[in-house]
Amino acid sequence: MFHSMGLLLIEIGAVAGVVLIALLRRRGRGPRSLDVPEAIHDALASAGLPDRAARVLATETAIFYYALASWRKRPFAPPGARPFSYHRRNAYAAILYAVFGVALVEMAAVDLIVRARHLTAANVLLVIDGLAALWILGFVRAVQLRPILLDGDRLLIRNGLSASVEVHRSNATIEFGRVRAPARGTPGYLRVAMGEPNALITLREPAAVRRAYGSARVVDRIGLVLDDPKGFESAWRSLVPPTPEPVRQPLPSTSAL
């Protein structure tokens, strides 16, 4: 068991070492408005890694960061941006923590059963299960620490580390309240978090959603399940200029007829 955990720590250390070198080389040159995964990707890309490789390594490193080193951190929001969480109203984070707990119990049970019969297989399974548990823990922490951001004319939508998309005000209309959202899995539709959406974004021009590990898809509708839908609606409406009333020409007087 200790040998397996040592291998796991070596893997984490190797990934962290590569990223640390890239970050030190990039220190002081990157924008301070970047979140942890974005800063890691920016550093790796600046160090010469291809974009896809940089995104894969940034995702893996961010998982370890959120799982192991983020427990005293507050949700990230650059100066001037309004953060909106999406993990309390629908118990999204609570469900993910429950999955993490089940993963730990399963890991211990499998290790106990397999180790009595095959030591090598038990070590391999322990490393795999340990990485899976870390992934779940890192993902749920990212959900808590990476809120949706309304930053001027830009709406940055994230779902933990699994998806992110940038929407500009001029390209979006939003329905609030009890919206009629498409079913999950509908082509061109992205639903952020669990539950019934309380805001539905319709894009005039489709936008590219960045997924974990560098893959992408194109969407034209996005459903949000927000903890504070009223606050989000108020913030969004304050950015959208009111439609001017049409100028009414005075009717001609009867004396001119």
55, 126: one domain: no
CA separation for the pair 35, 41 (Å, rounded)? 10
Co-location of 129 and 69 in the same domain: no
pLDDT tens column, 182-208: 988 899 999 998 889 999 999 999 999
To the nearest whole number, what is the mean pLDDT of the chain?
A: 82
Count up the domains in the chain and report the number. Answer: 3
Q: Which structure tokens are listed for 145?
A: 């620490």
Do 224 and 156 share a domain, yes or no? Answer: yes
- 84-134 pLDDT, tens digit per residue, is 999 999 999 999 999 999 999 988 888 888 888 888 888 888 888 888 999
Q: Is residue 253 part of a domain?
A: no
SS (H, E, C) 188-230: CEEEECCCCCCEEEEEEEEEEEEEHHHCEEEEEEEEECCCCHH
On whether residue 248 sits in a domain, the answer given is no
- Does residue 249 lie in a domain region? no
Residues 6+ apart with CB under 8 A from 168: 153, 154, 155
Residue range 216-224: mean pLDDT, rounded? 94
- pLDDT for 152-180, tens place per residue? 889 999 999 999 999 999 999 999 998 88
Beta bridge partners of 200: 175, 223
pLDDT for 213: 82
State mean pLDDT over 24-41: 64
Range of the domain at 60: 2-75
Residue 241 has pLDDT above 90, yes or no: no
Co-location of 118 and 156 in the same domain: no
Predicted local confidence at residue 252, as pLDDT: 57
Q: Are residues 171 and 216 in the same domain?
A: yes
